[in-house]
Amino acid sequence: MIRFENVTKRYADGTTAVDNLSFEVAEGELVTLVGPSGCGKTTTMKMVNRLIEPTGGRIYVDGDDISATDPVELRRRIGYVIQQVGLFPHKTVLDNTATVPHLLGVRRATARARAAELLDLVGLDPSVYGGRYPEQLSGGQRQRVGVARALAADPPVLLMDEPFGAVDPVVRERLQNEFLALQKSVRKTVLFVTHDIEEAVRLGDRIAVYGQGTIEQFDAPAAVLGAPATPSVADFVGADRGLRRLSVTPVEPGDLEQPPVVHLDDPLPATLPGWAVVLDREGNPHGWISAGQAATARGAVREHARRMEARLPVGASLKQAFATMLQYDAGWIAVTDEENGGRFLGVLTPAGLHEALRRSTAADARDIPRDEVELETVSGR
């Protein structure tokens, strides 16, 4: 959907901001560009909507060479969200959001109706916020309006340049989560610039890690964290990249153990190897029962089962799994299938979590000996 072919940008003063860059963003993909300040991220982005013209190479949007496309026409296809949102101070939130469609000739009433829908979509109740002016909003709310406005003309492509950079960490995380949920439904092709590796791995389907005007690594977050391609990428993703990888690796059915299972209404089994998971009538996890109890007591499982609240849907991140284990001080977590009414799938143990983390390392997938990767990071070359 967006393709860079040997793109270079040299500014008049001789600064090479972008150096022979080639990469491609697939339709519906969210790619984060991450790197330290001054590495050329904003320059890369502004070349896509022709706010900056490259000095060499070609850029294609949806197959069209953009140097041959009218910039105004091009920008209709591209939503743009920046840190300083640039809302019109004298216009209401609703009118700010409706601006672009209205300019494009959509009837005012239609544009405003669509704007209200979009405000709702980004978590701002239009009946509450629609009539407010930008100065009456918090920083996070202004950023939401910025996202709504960028989506108003329903462009297939979205460029976002540190859109959540100016809000505090708590609001930022909320905005990130909301944006991810939004992206699931709108499926835009997104280029998202950030200097925050945490944000890059959380949001990106793939991330491009910048060096000076070049991409050092372009890969899935787990791969970048698991196997940094160069020492400078390793440096940038940091020593705690192992921890970060927890947040980008999902719990999969193959990670689960299958202990014996009994149901609440069953009579107590005479023998049990160790312990068993107890399920309710619907097949949802209820708790557990130990072999000792089963051997000495009588009656139904219901009378002896212990409650166990630690549970997680399959597909949740290993980080969530780890947090849940700590929260409940639990040696295992019941993993459920939320798409099937919370049906029990198996249990995740610390050993399973460890295995899952190993599985996730691209180092394993690529047959790079793990030790080599670790050593490179440790020696910090």
Q: Are 204 and 222 in contact (CB under 8 A)?
A: no
Of 37-45, 85-93, 139-147, 345-353, the segment contacting Mg ion by CB under 5 A is 37-45
CA–CA separation, 59 vs 203, rounded Å? 24
Q: Are 263 and 281 in contact (CB under 8 A)?
A: yes
If binding is defined by CB under 6 A, does position 232 make contact with ligand ADP? no
If binding is defined by CB under 6 A, does position 271 make contact with ligand ADP? no
- Which position among 13, 135, 367, 371 is part of the footprint of ligand ADP (CB under 6 A)? 13
**CB of 82: closest distance to ligand ADP in angstroms?**
11
User: CA–CA distance from 48 to each of 12, 19, 270, 304 (Å)?
Assistant: 19, 15, 70, 64
**CB of 72: closest distance to ligand ADP in angstroms?**
22
CA–CA separation, 48 vs 197, rounded Å? 22
Of 34-42, 116-124, 126-134, 184-192, the segment contacting ligand ADP by CB under 6 A is 34-42
Length of the chain: 381
Residue of 163, 218, 162 whose CA lies nearest to 31: 218
Q: Around 236, how many Cα atoms within 13 Å sit in the side-chain half-sphere?
A: 30
Q: List the single partner that 15 binds among Mg ion, ligand ADP, none, CB under 5 to 8 Å by kind.
A: ligand ADP
Q: In DSSP terms, which residues pair with 290 in a beta bridge? A: 275
CA–CA separation, 367 vs 23, rounded Å? 25
- Which position among 6, 11, 107, 131 is part of the footprint of ligand ADP (CB under 6 A)? 11
**CB of 103: closest distance to Mg ion in angstroms?**
27
- Which position among 20, 28, 38, 178 is part of the footprint of ligand ADP (CB under 6 A)? 38
**CB of 11: closest distance to ligand ADP in angstroms?**
3
If binding is defined by CB under 6 A, does position 41 make contact with ligand ADP? yes
**CB of 196: closest distance to Mg ion in angstroms?**
12
User: CA–CA distance from 245 to each of 50, 115, 262, 323, 342 (Å)?
Assistant: 35, 37, 35, 14, 26
162 vs 255, beta carbon nearer ligand ADP: 162
CA–CA separation, 264 vs 288, rounded Å? 10
- Which position among 25, 32, 43, 199 is part of the footprint of ligand ADP (CB under 6 A)? 43
Q: Rounded to a whole number, what is the largest CA-CA distance in the chain?
A: 86
Question: How far separated are the first and last CA of the chain, in Å rounded?
Answer: 36
- Which position among 32, 42, 189, 232 is part of the footprint of Mg ion (CB under 5 A)? 42
The DSSP call for residue 229 is S
43 vs 176, beta carbon nearer ligand ADP: 43
Judged by the rule CB under 5 A, the positions of this chain that interact with Mg ion are 42
Which parts of this chain interact with ligand ADP (CB under 6 A)? 11, 13, 15, 17, 35, 37-43
